A and B are shown apart, each in its own frame.
Chain A
Amino acid sequence: MSSRDKILNAIAANQPDLVAPPTIDLDTVISYEDNYTQFKKVLEGIGGKVELLSDIAILNNQIQKDKASGQLVINMIDDVDKQIVMLTSFELEKLEKVYLRATLGVAENGSVWLYESQMGNRLLPFICQHLMLVIHKKDIVTTMHHAYQQIDIAKEGFGVFIAGPSKTADIEQSLVIGAHGARTATIYVVE
């Protein structure tokens, strides 16, 4: 018998009688007076930055300046560049800044959800030195339950919740920002 069948048979023989899954009552779940304020508070508490923008056009200036700096800067807020999809990790290791659009933010934990299509290349949000993400204020939901109601994790090949910059506390529990991935994470919230 194959290991597959052996394992599945053993499980079937040993698993307990069927019990029902719970009903998750979202009425008992926390709510906030203002999801944006909560999102900002939590995200800043875990090392992220939040900037409120009245208009996304304000960013363009900054992106132009960044691009002029001579460092590798990728902007995918409006359009996913097919070239970038093809870049290897060797090439992306030089990536200084990346601007990406995200789907939604979560007030309870300061995370934002990104689909693969918003990154173009799965490595971008992880390998860059500085991560810049854009969401709309109305797209900040209260909790993870609400987030999963709005996203479809099976829609694309990959997706991720990101909460602030990469970090570690593996050396004597001292928090160090920028372990392998982004050293800063800025979320631009457009009103």
Chain B
Amino acid sequence: MTPKHADLAEQFITDEPRTNWHDETLWFVREKRDKAVHGIPEWEDLREWGSQIKNHSLSNLSQYLKEFEEKATANGIQIHWAATGEEHNQIIHKIIQKNNIQRIVKSKSMLTEECHLNDYLEHRGIEVVDSDLGERIVQFRKEAPSHIVLPAIHLKKQDVSETFHEHLNTEKGNNDPQYLTEAARGHLRDKFVESELSITGVNFAIAETGGFVVCTNEGNADMGAHSAAVHIACMGFEKIIPKAEHLAVFLRLLARSATGQPITTFSSHFQKPRDGQEMHIVIVDNGRSTQLGREDFRNSLKCIRCAACFNTCPVYRRSGGHSYHTSTAGPIGSILNPNLDMKANSDLPFASTLCGSCTNVCPVKINIHEQLWKWRQEIVKNGYVDTTKKIGMNGMAVLFSYPAIYRLTGKIGRWVMRVVPFITNNQLNPWYKQREMPKPPKESFRDWYKKNGNSQKN
């Protein structure tokens, strides 16, 4: 059984300074986003347009995908369809085998993480080098990315320094980010020029033109794709947008929401393979069509993967990405993952305060916190909630339906907490973990109101 979010989060927060640092670092990114957004007076219009373009795309998706396939094929790109993650991996493996390829670089793609492509290929004796700096760091450490935009955000520079000392033979104890980045630059440039095949993700695929856009800051997707003889781009089918002009809306929204930059350094528009190059696109379903049919949750397919909802989430910031035990963490991951496996990921919709901050920052206006709340109901209905939570909730249901019992328990509770506080302030009470219990009031609000309500009125 996969460990649950609460347990993994508990492990993460044992190191308090690190937890605080993680929290502050992500909040800093959130603040950069705010500053960038405030420079655009029409920001709310932009969000609305982004949301409506995505609504429209989803409502005409099968047509747009066919149009995209037709145009891309005419452009000389080979299109493949994968119903599952496994099929996605098989398609890629076949292309590698057919071309008899040894050296592969990959630029950041959460879809290939979702499908566990690296593991799949590794089991078949094929090594893939992740080329985004953050991804390379976690790959060396045999970890998964903990954030969809900042894969190594959970690591401190000392951690990176040790990792690079071990794998790239850098100076021990040299923690200078400039020095470490330079070492990775040299190492990865060698990999780029040698690479025979390059795998990238897709940020946007344009039905009108049959081309696609990849956004990076490092330029690693381009270094790989333009060096290698074969380029495979992998996309979830929801990446389709209707027209080129719509890119304006999304490119204005994406980087500002993600890191507070006005745009990513490189926004590369691939239309045709270069002379002599093979270009493939793998279009993946892997549960997305099911999610499309779930009316309450289909909005989640509008996500452009900016991670603004991660950076603002008080739970994510304090529990770390790995506590979500899935490739896409954070608030949006907690909506997408129960769709893939409701049982294994039944804990995730509960990893939220439902404060609504995620919904407020989402550039395509996904009602994230409402969907989390809806998933909770779905999960309870399907019986996937754990026993303590179930007992607690059943108890509450009884309590709330019998006012007299409710009042009596309240009275007892207040008395107990006042007179014998250790009964609640102990490790057996899950609510006491990481929290100070409040001082109970002498009387209930109801009693106070009965006494004072009338006199206040006059």
Contact = CB atoms under 8 A, between A and B. Distances in A.
A24 B51 CA distance: 12
Nearest to A8: B62
Contacts of B222: 122-123, 126, 160, 181
B285 A7 contact: yes
Interface string B140-182: 0000000000111101110010000000000000000110111
Provide the main secondary structure of the chain A interface.
loop
A171 B157 contact: yes
A17 B295 CA distance: 11
Given A21-B53, A123-B223, A145-B248, A89 B65 contact: no
B33 to A, nearest CB: 13
A172 to B, nearest CB: 5
A24 B269 contact: no
Nearest to A18: B59
A44 to B, nearest CB: 12
A34 interface: no
B132 interface: yes
Contacts of B289: 7, 10-11, 14
Contacts of B259: 169
A189 to B, nearest CB: 18
Contacts of A6: 83, 285
Contacts of A186: none
Contacts of B83: 3, 6-7
A143 interface: yes
A144 B180 CA distance: 35
Contacts of B81: 2-4, 7
Contact of A127 (B211, B223, B245, B292): B223
Contacts of A169: 150, 217, 259
A118 interface: no
A170 interface: yes
A51 interface: no
A21 B430 CA distance: 48
Contacts of B263: 106, 109-111, 144, 161, 163
Contacts of B42: 28-30
| In the complex, the 10 A-B pairs of residues with the closest C-beta atoms, listed nearest first | A14-B293, A181-B219, A109-B262, A170-B134, A179-B218, A10-B289, A157-B272, A22-B52, A144-B248, A89-B227
A166 B266 CA distance: 8
B131 interface: yes
A144 B62 contact: no
A176 interface: yes
B372 interface: no
B152 A170 contact: yes
A16 B58 contact: yes
A179 B218 CA distance: 5
18 contacts: A3-B285, A8-B62, A11-B237, A14-B292, A18-B59, A21-B53, A46-B262, A108-B262, A122-B274, A123-B223, A127-B223, A143-B248, A153-B271, A154-B210, A157-B271, A166-B266, A168-B133, A179-B220
Given A3-B83, A171-B152, A180-B188, 14 more contacts: A3-B87, A15-B59, A21-B246, A106-B263, A109-B263, A122-B222, A153-B269, A158-B268, A158-B270, A165-B265, A169-B259, A171-B180, A179-B181, A181-B222
Contacts of B151: 170
A171 B262 contact: no
Nearest to B178: A176
Interface in A171-191: 171-174, 176, 178-182
B213 to A, nearest CB: 8
Nearest to A90: B193
B237 A171 contact: no
B185 A179 contact: yes
B418 interface: no
Nearest to A175: B177
A145 B251 CA distance: 10
B247 interface: yes
A7 B189 contact: no
Contact of A110 (B249, B262, B292): B262
A6 B230 CA distance: 27
A19 to B, nearest CB: 5
Interface residues of B, number: 94
A98 interface: no
Interface of A: 2-4, 6-8, 10-22, 24-25, 28-30, 42, 46, 88-90, 93, 106, 108-111, 116, 121-123, 126-127, 143-145, 147-149, 152-154, 156-174, 176, 178-182
A179 B177 CA distance: 11
Interface string B31-47: 00000000011100100
B193 A93 contact: yes
B29 interface: yes
B267 interface: yes
Contact of A149 (B49, B245, B251, B298): B245
A42 B285 contact: no
Interface in B5-56: 25, 28-29, 40-42, 45, 48-49, 52-53, 55-56
A22 to B, nearest CB: 4
Contacts of A158: 268-272, 274
A173 B131 contact: no
Nearest to B289: A10
Q: In this complex, which of A11, A159, A171 has the most chain B Cβ atoms within 10 angstroms of its Cβ?
A: A171
Contacts of A163: 261-266
B219 to A, nearest CB: 3
Nearest to B138: A170
B91 to A, nearest CB: 9
A174 B192 contact: no
Given A157-B271, A158-B269, A174-B157, A180 B248 contact: no
